[in-house]
Amino acid sequence: MLVLRLLNVVAPAYFLCISLVTFVLQIFLFIPSMFRDPSATSLLSPALLHGALFLFLSANALGNYILVIQSSPEDLGKGLNLGEGTEVVADWLDGSRSPGSALPSTHFCRLCARVTQRHDHHCFFTGNCIGSRNMRNFIMFCLYTSLACLDSLVAGMAYISVALSMSFANPLAFLTLLPHSINQFFSGALLSSEMFVILMLYLWLGIGLACAGFCCHQMLLILRGQTRYQVRKGMVVRARPWRENLREVFGKRWLLGLLIPVLNVGSDNHRQKEK
């Protein structure tokens, strides 16, 4: 438990550090290098378009990240008729409280010390549980994080191709880039800044693929009306049309939430909270 609590603190700090490094590299290295092209002077230049795209992706990823953290799980016993906080903790920890005494898929998280309605999983990179209140923001966070990593990966490869005078036309060039770069770095033929960018390329690739895969898996569960917690516990869910399952998470005005980071707009859960 101590290791999990430590991970719950270190993982968000690690993610914010990677985000800050990515932002600095994009703004102060990749985008300025694009302006070296004499033709990139118009308002529709690739440098300005790339900068606007990166800022849009970063703002949505960071905005939804903050909303996931702010949309915390339910306080102990609040609105769930679970009793007082200390009693609830004791009941949930010793197993005396049956799952049927709470709402379906309600789960007490030892790390958050709170109860989550329609619990999905505990995300260490946000230090928060993912449930009915922040599921949509979590999916948007994963989506825009994967797109921001892809954007940074493409910009970084363009920068390295110019700095090292190499081409990535051959798919094997990217796979062999790291071992060749390590040899050149220790032989003194490669600058430390260029080596750092190369390491970030593989980090962006890994984070981007992980977020994209997690987002696709989460969307598949939503279409089926399930959560990861229900699948892990073998819970049987009532079959509903996939449109209703999507509307429950994203709301009717889903397009607004897709373009800007906002709370669950128009969702059934959000309207029930307001009532």
User: What is the distance between the terminal CA atoms of the chain, rounded to a whole angstrom?
Assistant: 37
DSSP of 16-62, one letter per residue? HHHHHHHHHHIIIIIHHHHTTSTTTTSTT-HHHHHHHHHHHHHHHHH
User: What is the three-class DSSP state of 138?
Assistant: helix
Task: Give the span between the Cα atoms of 154 and 165, in whole angstroms.
Answer: 16
**In a 3-state reduction of DSSP, which class is residue 132?**
coil
Catalytic machinery residues: 123
H-assigned helices in the chain:
2-25, 31-34, 46-70, 85-94, 135-163, 171-175, 177-186, 192-223, 228-233, 242-250, 254-259, 268-274
Contacts of 104 (CB under 8 A, 6+ apart): 118, 235
